[in-house]
Amino acid sequence: MTIVFDGVAAGMLLFLISIGLSVTLGLMNFVNLAHGAFAMLGGYVCVLLLGQAGWPFLLAVPTAAAAAALAGVVLERTLYRRLYAASHLDQVLFSIGIVFMSISAAHYFFGARQQPIMLPDFLLGQFVLPGIDVGIYRLFLIVIGLGLAYGLHWMVRRTRFGAQLRAAVDNPRAARGLGIDVDRVFTLAFALGSGLAGLGGALGVEMLGLDPGFPVKYMVYFLIVVAVGGSGNIHGSLIASLMLGLFDVCGKYYLPQVGAFIIYAVMVVMLIFKPQGLFGRSAAK
């Protein structure tokens, strides 16, 4: 049971990072392979604020997310916006370029080494329930992930911003025809996606580690979540992340010799039977 719990926590962390990609890919139809670069930025900002500035963890993490969101706004306004109408191949080539630039920048400023992170005392340790050892930080990740999934669902389905976003995604021309400032809506949505990546990156340092190779190392995981869950589908991304986390942790524990092969096999099988993902592409169900 402990392995299952750890798998759920790993899946929830994956959800935290990947959901931003699901937003930009599914809702804005932009293939942003540089999503992991925003997560890495969040991770580095969090490490710096904790280690060098001495900020408390609960303040450093949202600040890291805000920094990634801000970077997202700047890049969206200056670069990404120009490629909304471009082909997916152009978007892939462009965002891969951003990935390599971010890796070089991380090397330059922080070196190649793994970054250490000091969690606050209240998130350390574990407690024992019948048949299960509950790591407090992992439980923290699960609670944050569930809260975020609910909050995002509520935002997209209920708020005026969510309605504007759904209208802008469904038909940007007609949305402009209603008086919606579609450019501003997309900027905010991109900032949201980047900020969520930054949040996941900051929370993930302890479990995933942090070095300049982060955006490439985990890129495939983020893409699997979106492919299996259905792009733009919040519920789908959550389920796909949990499945991926469970298969990954259980696979590594029970069949260490095949390692990550299991998750790729699962992905291939799922996409054969459900090419649109488990829950299909959707405007944020």
Partner 1 sequence: MTAVLETRGLVKQFGGFIATSDVSLSVAAGARHALIGPNGAGKTTLINLLTGFLEPNAGAVILKGEDVTHLAQHQRVKRGLVRTFQINRLFADMTVLESVTLSVCERLGYGWNWWRPLAAHGAAVDEAAELLGTLRLLDVAHEKTRNLAYGRQRMIEIALALAAKPQVLLLDEPAAGVPTGESRELFDTIARLPREVTILLIEHDMELVFRFAERITVLVGGALLTEDVPEVIAKDKRVKEVYLGEALHD
Query: Contact between 281 and partner 1 (CB under 8 A)?
Result: no
Token pair 């696979």: residue: 251
Question: If residue 43 lies in a helix (H) or strand (E), which one and from where to where?
Answer: helix 35-51
Integer CA distances (angstroms), 188 to 11, 23, 110, 150, 235, in order:
26, 11, 29, 19, 21
CB of 280 to partner 1, least distance (A): 12
Give the C-alpha separation, 90 to 136, whole Å. 43
Phi and psi, residue 180, nearest 5°: -80, 135
CB of 130 to partner 1, least distance (A): 41
Q: Which is nearer to partner 1, 133 or 183 (CB)?
A: 183
Query: Contact between 114 and partner 1 (CB under 8 A)?
Result: no
Query: Contact between 84 and partner 1 (CB under 8 A)?
Result: no
Segment contacting partner 1 (CB under 8 A): 67-75, 176-184, 206-214, 262-270? 176-184
Single residue of 58, 181, 254, 265 touching partner 1 by CB under 8 A: 181
> Pick from 71, 2, 11: which is nearest to 41 by CA?
71
Give the C-alpha separation, 89 to 277, whole Å. 21
Query: Contact between 104 and partner 1 (CB under 8 A)?
Result: no
Sign of the dihedral through C-alpha 112, 221, 41, 48? negative
CB atoms within 10 A of CB 16: 25
Number of residues binding to partner 1, judged by CB under 8 A: 24
The half-sphere exposure of 138 on its side-chain side, counting CA atoms within 13 A, is 20
Integer CA distances (angstroms), 19 to 24, 80, 118, 205, in order:
9, 19, 26, 17
Token pair 């191949």: residue: 89
**Helix 234-254 and helix 136-158, axial crossing angle in degrees, nearest 10:** 160
Single residue of 124, 143, 174, 265 touching partner 1 by CB under 8 A: 174
Give the C-alpha separation, 216 to 219, whole Å. 5
CB of 123 to partner 1, least distance (A): 29
Segment contacting partner 1 (CB under 8 A): 139-147, 157-165, 216-224, 235-243? 157-165
Query: Contact between 151 and partner 1 (CB under 8 A)?
Result: no
Q: Which is nearer to partner 1, 119 or 155 (CB)?
A: 155
Query: Contact between 153 and partner 1 (CB under 8 A)?
Result: no
Query: Contact between 256 and partner 1 (CB under 8 A)?
Result: no
CB of 186 to partner 1, least distance (A): 13
Single residue of 8, 37, 71, 167 touching partner 1 by CB under 8 A: 167
Segment contacting partner 1 (CB under 8 A): 58-66, 161-169, 238-246, 248-256? 161-169
Catalog residues that contact partner 1 under the rule CB under 8 A. Answer: 155, 158-164, 166-167, 170-171, 173-174, 176-182, 188, 282-283
